[in-house]
Amino acid sequence: MGSVWQALRQGESAPDRRRQLARAHDHFTSGTAIAEDPELREHFAALTGMRPVVFESWLRSQRSTIAPDRVPDQPALGEEELQELRRRHPIARVLPLVQRLLFDEAAGSGLIVAVGDAAGRLLWVDGDAALRSRAEEMGFRAGMDWSERAVGTSAPGSALALDHAIQVLGAEHYNRFVHQWSCTAAPVHDPVSGSLIGVVDVTGGDSAASPHLMPLLEATIAAVEAELKFESLRDRIERERAQERPPRRAAPA
């Protein structure tokens, strides 16, 4: 049995695939020592048709002893910490671009857009208001830690862990409280140093993991990184100009 996307293309309905994933998740988290037995791991992956990228994330989550049945509702940042991190984070400088490309569109499409830092802490969450309220019940809001080490498999956390874009559908999430959601996320890099600085995520129903969403998100990331590069170049030019200016002479007494 192929991946989620192959199954969908071959006519398997999303509800059927969701049920199959939920059964696989129940078995995986039931206490069976799948992670410690290579033969059992291989058999489980083949039997359930798990995507390797998701299965490997489940294994990392299990090894990290993440509880799959606990609501991820412990804030990682206090309000003052959140505001300070927002103020000094590089993406803050290009947030209007994210607003135009994703936030505004998401609000009318029944989706949520989140921007997090390199540690997986959500800094900005916007989009459909009703959906945001529902998402807050599972701890998906600004100030929360959505890294893999905190909540297990999810698009924002796994995109950071793997340093590449990923889509996660329903019960592919390690935490059961997230099984009704799907998401697509991609990491953001500093265009000068190449270092990982954050992640942009789109969350919602099945449409949030549709194939057409990935190129849209990757195009947004490319635009964000290009704007960050422009801002860095402008800052450098300003510093060089400041150094070239002659010092001011003191006014005569």
For residue 199, list its beta bridge partners.
Answer: 116, 187
State how far the Cα of 61 lies from the Cα of 35, in Å rounded to an integer.
10
Look at residue 60 in the predicted model and tell me its pLDDT.
Answer: 93
Beta bridge partners of 189: 196
Q: How far apart are CA 156 and CA 169, in angstroms?
A: 13
* pLDDT at residue 252, rounded to an integer: 59
What is the structure's pLDDT at 1? Answer: 30
Question: Could you tell me if 125 and 146 are in contact, meaning their C-beta atoms sit under 8 angstroms apart?
Answer: no
Q: How far is CA 7 from CA 68, 103, 211, 223, in A?
A: 25, 31, 13, 32
Residue stretches of the chain with pLDDT short of 70: 1-14, 31-33, 35-36, 235-236, 238-242, 244-253
Give the other-Cβ count within 10 Å of 134's Cβ. 14
Cα–Cα distances in angstroms (integers) from residue 88 to residues 39, 85, 102, 205, 222, in the given order: 48, 5, 22, 32, 21
For residue 33, the model assigns a pLDDT of 67
Q: Model's pTM, two decimal places?
A: 0.84
Q: In the prediction, which pLDDT does 10 show?
A: 37
Nearest CA to 99 out of 73, 60, 125, 72 is that of 125
